[in-house]
Amino acid sequence: MQISFSIHFFTRQVEIGAKYEPGQRILLTTALFHMRAPFMYPLPASGSFTFVSEGRETHNGIELNVEGKAASWLRLTASAAALKAVSDDTGTPSFDNKQVLDVPHLHTTLFADLTVRASAGCICCRAGAIPDARKHA
């Protein structure tokens, strides 16, 4: 099976955000964003797929992030992004004005960075979870 990709495409994005650090232990950030890109999807043709670009997709959303030092050995990071990603002018009615495939309405992350100091140096470990809302496919 052969898969071909488009070579060039342009994406436009505008983002505005803010950061607030009330102390040495916590950082709060937020951002609003708007992005437009070509809508691309695989088109089957005689045993192979070619990615075609028809129409566009528009992503609008907000992202919130909190990170902080819970202890000298533990740093926590959590974020959430609410997204509305809609395709239009695709030439395919089943894609027009629908949530873009494989883009969740809600994307969240949670990470913990642990540092254990030892006489020979330190051991660092990162554990995390990335639960997403249901994706349309």
Identify the CA nearest to 50 among candidates 41, 58, 59: 41
User: What tokens appear for 134 in the block?
Assistant: 């249901």
Q: How far apart are CA 99 and CA 90, in angstroms?
A: 13
Q: Kindly give the residue spans of alpha helices, DSSP state H, lying in the chain.
A: none
Cα 54 to chain centroid, rounded: 22
pLDDT of residue 136: 52
Q: How far apart are CA 66 and CA 26, in angstroms?
A: 7
- Low-confidence residues in the chain, pLDDT < 70: 1-8, 118-121, 132-137
User: What tokens appear for 113 in the block?
Assistant: 């960075």
User: What tokens appear for 58 in the block?
Assistant: 């528009």
pLDDT of residue 119: 61
Q: How far apart are CA 131 and CA 54, in angstroms?
A: 31
pLDDT of residue 19: 96
| pTM for the structure as a whole | 0.73
pLDDT of residue 63: 97
Instruction: Give tens-digit pLDDT for 48-64.
Output: 777 777 889 999 999 99
pLDDT of residue 137: 46
